[in-house]
Amino acid sequence: MKIAFFDVKDYEIPYFEHYGKEGQVDFCYYKTTLREETARLAEGFDGVCVFVNDRLDRAVLSRLYEGGVSVAALRCAGYNTVDLAAAKGRVRILHVPGYSPHAVAEHTMGMLLTSIRRIHKAYNRTRDFNFSLSGLVGFDLKGKTVGIVGMGRIGSAFAAICKGFGMRVLAYDQQPKTMEGVTYCTLEELFAESDVLSFHCPLNDRTHHMLNADNLSLLKKGVMILNTSRGGLIDSAALLEGIKERRIGGACLDVYEEEEGLFFEDNSGHILEDDVLARLISMPNVLVTSHQAFLTKEALDAIAKTTVSNIISIYEKDSCENELVFEG
């Protein structure tokens, strides 16, 4: 099986090479992202392997199908860049639904602690031998209320961590699952009562801009906003306004709705044209990381193992438990 691997990063290759050799899957690595203009690179391959910023829209899927590609294996859980309707009957779509929920949940808590205890600021100061504590006052998490939007594997893992810190846990999910110590409520109640608001749901038409200019007024004053899921869940311009108006106390963002072409790349020598992102990064109470919440050895191993297993299952059994099917 020959698979065209798009948007490859050096840290991924050893894991995919290991499982690829075991399963007799041959990867050809491309650093470019998958777009309509790059889809020709997949001609003659059995399938493609793609990541969060690769496109699988109608035009790309048509190009892939015409070039003989029958499988697209996502090495991630989210599939908001995939047109499942256009893929139906042409290209089979596979994904990795649960590679390491703990990796993302732990990074979320790490960002929160770093921000509220000003750890990043203290680190920069002490490197200049500045040991002043001025401006480093934080607050305890114990006794605070955390609101979690989306109680899937990652949201549940984050809830467990928050309970360990002695936090009151509220949650909103369209399909709630019972978890001890977690109270479900409406989205409006969640916004109004949360000292910390964390997003862990998939991005789709229903969840796009869940936090926006219209519901910003519902937020508890001084709330911390966390997003390690998908950037499009939050209206970035509205978030910026909420911070400027002092309604939002701070934000920890591992994702951004216009991150394509920026995140995963070194842009240090370029002028950042996205004014909203530039302003957010400049804020003293905003912490941004480059979509790295998933990036642990355990997660990379699990992603590679599951992705290769998905591909093998499709070709050997003509079925895969992680196949995405359009339901419309």
Active site residue 189: no
SS3 at position 172:
strand
- Residue in the structure block whose two tokens are 């240090």: 268
Q: Which is the catalytic residue, given 12, 193, 257, 259?
A: 259
Pairing of strands 182-184, 196-199: unpaired
Active site residue 327: no
The DSSP-derived string for 67-83 is: TT--EEEESSS--TTB-
Q: Which of these, 146, 257, 156, lies nearest to 210 by C-alpha position?
A: 257
Question: Rounded to an integer, what distance in angstroms lies between the CA atom of residue 190 and that of residue 159?
Answer: 14
Instruction: Print burial letters for 42-71: b (CB count within 10 Å at least 16), e (below 16).
Output: beebbbbbbbbbbbbeeebbebbbebebeb
71 touches 87 (CB < 8 A): no
223 touches 197 (CB < 8 A): yes
Maximum Cα–Cα distance for the chain, whole Å?
Answer: 64
List the Cα angle 233/238/239 in 5-degree steps: 70
Q: Which is the catalytic residue, given 291, 298, 323, 327?
A: 291
Count CB atoms within 10 A of the CB of residue 306. 20
Count CB atoms within 10 A of the CB of residue 270. 9
With a CB cutoff of 8 Å and minimum separation 6, the contacts of 314 are: 71, 92, 94, 320, 323
Active site residue 259: yes
Q: Which is the catalytic residue, given 230, 265, 321, 323?
A: 230
271 touches 77 (CB < 8 A): no
Q: What is the DSSP letter of 34?
A: P
> Would you name the residues annotated as active-site residues?
230, 259, 291
